[in-house]
Amino acid sequence: MKRICALTVWLSLLLSPVLAQNAASLTQAIRYIKLANTLREVDKSQESINLLQRAMPAVQNKNLYWEAVTNELLGLSYKDLRDSTTALRYLEQARTQYTKLKYVASGWAVNEIIRDISSKNVYAGIQIGTAGVKVAIFKTSYETDFYEKDIKTVFDIPNSGLLADASKSAKGGQDALRIGLDSIKRYNIPAERTFIVFSSDLDKELARTPQNRQAFYEQLTRVLPSTNLKIDATLNSTREAQLFTIGAIPRKVWPTTSSLNLGNNSTTGGYFDQDASRRNFTHADKSFHELTIPIGLTTLVERIEAKRSLNTDAFKREAQRVVKAIADSTLAPRLRDPGLKQRRTIGVGGDIAQALVSYLYPEKAGVTAVPILEADVERFKQLALNDYKALTQPDLRSIANAETRKQAEKDVSTVQSQLSEKQLIAGALWLDAVMSAYNAGSSPKRFVFIRNANIGWVTGKFLETINYEYESTIAKGAMYTR
């Protein structure tokens, strides 16, 4: 810190005579531009702007490359000062000039900054399911081995009667969809960044009565305010697992990582072929290998109770028997896939994984990727079976950071409202069985909980869309500016 302050004072003394005159030549202009870039690094953005304006007369209409660089740095400096309007004006000029020069990499990088300032990296998803509608609005950046999500809002619109009379009226679905669309409108998100889908469980339910399916779809589309907005009604379990994997696992780690989503109705995931990360792909790409097991928290509890109402002790005994039987008969055979065995890391999502991290590691609230060890799962299982109160009421007072503590309180409250005691017991046993099955007959895997993976499908749709837009635009020899 002392060194930075000293450098700032030193630069200020040096600049006083320099800032008083325009650059007299290209060589002097380049010196000004280089120094201006350094000034930004020591939080002297206004001084950087002054110096760049002195450099501009020597390069404007004389050297297109250095004029583009000057415009880019002016845009970045105004961005530092939170003057978005002026920043965009200079950055758009720089992008146009890099395009003329055919400097695609520079133009692409500036375009990404423009997209960020313009909130074009904010996108939205509306998932219509059998029990209601989930709405998610957020942006994604690549900060670690996993995606960081800046979530604007995520909420559920429950509607247990969504399909009760779909053949006659879809009013419940229409009302829920309107609420979601109204939320999106406040963020000025364009239609091409808004993804509306039928969930795979809804798709499966509607498939039983094709005439109701068509009627339900048509009634919901009447709510859409623009013909550019579409409802994707093709999201089967394979496609949902693929989108979840695209949205949760960055392409660069596909060769070593598979996905696993421990959902309410099923356990899904999969992996891409070794070379998939190096080429373009579509939803019909055969390089994705799906894992689908028709067991989730809700279905597991239903199997354990078998239309009975078991007390807690009886449920614990029956849960251990049922989970073992399912693991032996259904889980183990599905995990013999050589491709799964080759992936040493497993990105995990789902409410039960969220519960483990929230209860056992509340101090990691906000951390995107949290490793889960076998010892963690064993402790989680034992507490769920033997000390439910201690598990679900972790002591958060030792978390020193106030913001982290506040997030931890929110995480714990969310999990408490989402999972009943029986779901927690069944889920802990299922997570233990899944981890044991993955590790059987191979070197131990690295399990990593991915926060906000429940909205991974939206990220998958977004990344798939911009990947196609970018590659098709570049193939035409044009600059990608959307």
Listed in order, the ranges of the chain carrying CATH 1.25.40.10 are 2-117
List where CATH 3.30.420.150 sits in the chain: 248-460
Give the distance, in angstroms, between the CA of residue 412 and the centroid of all CA atoms in the same chain: 21
At 151 the pLDDT is: 81
* Listed range (29-43, 166-180, 191-205) with the worst mean pLDDT: 166-180
- Among 20-29, 312-321, 386-395, which is the least confidently predicted range? 20-29
pLDDT band, very low/low/confident/very high, at 169 (cuts 50, 70, 90): low
Q: What is 122-235's CATH topology?
A: Nucleotidyltransferase; domain 5 (3.30.420)
Q: What is the pLDDT of residues 177-207, one digit of tens each?
A: 899 899 888 887 888 889 999 988 888 878 8
* pLDDT higher than threshold 70 for residue 5: no
Fold of 2-117: 1.25.40
Q: How confident is the model at residue 29 (pLDDT cuts 50, 70, 90)?
A: very high
Element housing 94 (H / E): helix 84-101
Nearest 5°: CA angle at 464, between 189 and 200? 90
Indicate the CATH number of 248-460 among 3.30.420.150, 1.10.3720.10, 3.40.50.620, 3.40.50.720: 3.30.420.150
Q: Over range 90-94, report the average pLDDT.
A: 96
Could you read off the pLDDT of 102-156 as tens digits, one per residue?
A: 887 788 789 878 877 876 678 899 998 877 788 988 887 654 556 777 888 888 8
- Sheet containing 231-232, strands listed edge to edge, beginning at the edge strand earlier in sequence: 147-158, 132-142, 122-128, 194-198, 231-232
C-alpha distances in Å from residue 461, one per residue of 39, 383, 443, 458: 40, 38, 33, 5
pLDDT at 338 exceeding the cut of 80: yes
Region of 29 (left: φ > 0; alpha: ψ -120 to 50; beta: rest) is alpha
Question: Could you give the CA distance from residue 74 to residue 34 in angstroms, rounded to a whole number?
Answer: 12
At 481, the pLDDT band (50, 70, 90 cuts) reads low
pLDDT of residue 477: 57
Q: How far apart are CA 207 and CA 224, in angstroms?
A: 23
Query: In the structure, what pLDDT confidence band is assigned to residue 323 with cuts at 50, 70 and 90?
Result: very high
pTM of the model: 0.74
CB atoms within 10 A of CB 306: 9
